Structure 1
């Protein structure tokens, strides 16, 4: 494991909760606008930037966004909807398996296609199990997921344990971009109780209160994206709630 992993786990070891800002390069933006957003979120205390989207992102768009975001001095991590999101201008990549997908491509073939590029680009791979909870989001549709029963946290734990046994270091519990619901708090709670995985939670987090609930339930990292686009001031409040969840 490399520099970005050490950066993340070092903060967690010191008792910090982390916030990642997700940027979708496929969304219309100007360089000036992205610079403004990046500066705002960095000053608020976000710990890293994720770049990615499930539909339509080109390598050129990903590279342009990565270049702007790196000017903050914070790590830039590819959050790949597919291999088209990969860019050598990022620092690392969530090297993911969509664990509850019914599509073989997302279980292994995407990773096989991506691995030579990750190696060639010099990206630091962060081995990640990715679990999409709800069926009514774009990522669920594109990934052909088998939804997780919300009242069955033990199902998520089984996935997380399997991932840990296969060598994953991270588990990403995803409600989905624009989801009307957050991940059930019982999901990060059970994962943190029984595994040593860095637990990331994203999707549906629209308020400081929801962010606090997630970190108190066991999430190490909170990801917000949609709210950053729609209401930057509220996004800043969410970052501060993550960093000081009293």
Structure 2
């Protein structure tokens, strides 16, 4: 229940936050970032409330994971997929480990969910809100999307921090590293997608073809890596500026 509230809050809070900021005629992307931060803060508040009420989100997650792992371990199809040589207990332990690794990404999942929701909500709000009789500032074309260059410094700094925590066997080290990787992979992949959009725009490629190309890349590990590297290169070298 609390987990659902967290995602709902992450989706709801950005709306009033962004509506207020849009009246100040701030940069659309900054408004989205502020809205996403508001959504993440709201989700964090729900987590704190749950803990204060004696309902730890992660404890509930662990119980659900254990239940799902035990249920799936007895499924004949899962047994055939994982290998008949594994006992049911071994399958349950393996599945539990997989689910626990996925559960560690809950913070970054909520952050990405809040950011994606805020972006979509801004697109809608910008068509509904008027400021002194004038329409709100519209979101720039996705091909114009640019991360600040100092995000690379933040990425390296946070990664080094997580590396130090992991090496000193601090409990949050591995979890922090996993979430940092997920967040920055997402951010750099977005930047990489914008490069492809810009390149195809300059070549006159229809948008539907560009979308198909990106979806194709996202289906493969090497494609995701390519998007991330392309995005990182664009952040550092500003390749899109040379395409204009």
Tell me whether the two structures share a fold, i.e. TM-score over 0.5. Answer: no
Name the structure with the higher helix share.
2
Per the normalisation by structure 1, the TM-score is 0.27
Larger Rg: 1 or 2?
Answer: 2
Between structures 1 and 2, the one with greater strand share: 1
TM norm structure 2: 0.27
